[in-house]
Amino acid sequence: MANKHDFVCINCPMSCSLELTEENGEILEVTGNDCKIGKRYAEEEFKDPRRVVTTTVSVRSGSLPMLPVRSAEAIPKRLITDAVKSLEGIVVDAPVKLDQVVLEDVAGTGVNIIASRDLASASIQPNT
Ligand code: SF4
């Protein structure tokens, strides 16, 4: 028996409502997409949904206390909680460069967590 799964395409502001039909895990049809990107998105969401993880980690001696970080690529959605947990307690020394690796192979995905921005060291305040 065929089953239907609904998705909303997030690849452009059109937000097309997609309907994927499958039977025993085999994709039969995708409808509702205005372009082929939506078809591919629905197929990926059904077979292996992935997301880029974004969060923050602590910084030692930085101009800001927290550093925004992200996964260098999208990782399986089911591993996002593990990925975020593995970043707990990580402290990065300033200065930090954009795309600097903060953690390798997060949650065994083979994907690195990288800095989303430059972050300078805390400036030393002169005595007045
Ligand atoms: S299917 Fe195409 S047109 Fe529709 S939201 Fe996705 S990318 Fe945009």
Is residue 15 lining ligand 1, measured as CB closer than 6 Å? yes
Q: How far is the CA of 52 from the centre of ligand 1 (A)?
A: 19
Domain check: are 103 and 72 in the same one? yes
Question: What pLDDT shows up at residue 123?
Answer: 79
127 falls in which pLDDT band (50, 70, 90)? low
Q: Is residue 123 part of a domain?
A: no
Atom of ligand 1 nearest to the CA of 15: 5
Are residues 43 and 71 both part of a single domain? no
**Separation of alpha carbons 57 and 96, rounded Å:** 12
38, 58, 124: which is closest to 20 by C-alpha? 38
| CB of 38 sitting under 6 A from ligand 1 | yes
pLDDT tens per residue, range 68-101? 999 999 999 999 999 999 999 999 999 999 999 9
Q: Is residue 119's pLDDT more than 70?
A: yes
**Structural domain includes residue 125:** no
CB atoms within 10 A of CB 6: 10
- Number of domain units in the chain: 2
Phi, psi of 96 (to 5 degrees): -125, 140
Whether residue 106 lies inside any domain: the answer is: yes
Domain membership flag for residue 126:
no
78 Cα to the center of ligand 1, angstroms: 25
Give the count of alpha carbons within 13 A of 82, CB side only.
11
Is the domain of 29 the same as that of 79? no
Instruction: Report the CATH number that the domain containing residue 91 is assigned in CATH.
Output: 3.10.530.10
Q: pLDDT tens digits, residue range 25-71? A: 999 999 999 999 999 999 999 999 999 999 999 999 999 999 999 99
Cα(113)–Cα(55) distance, integer angstroms: 10
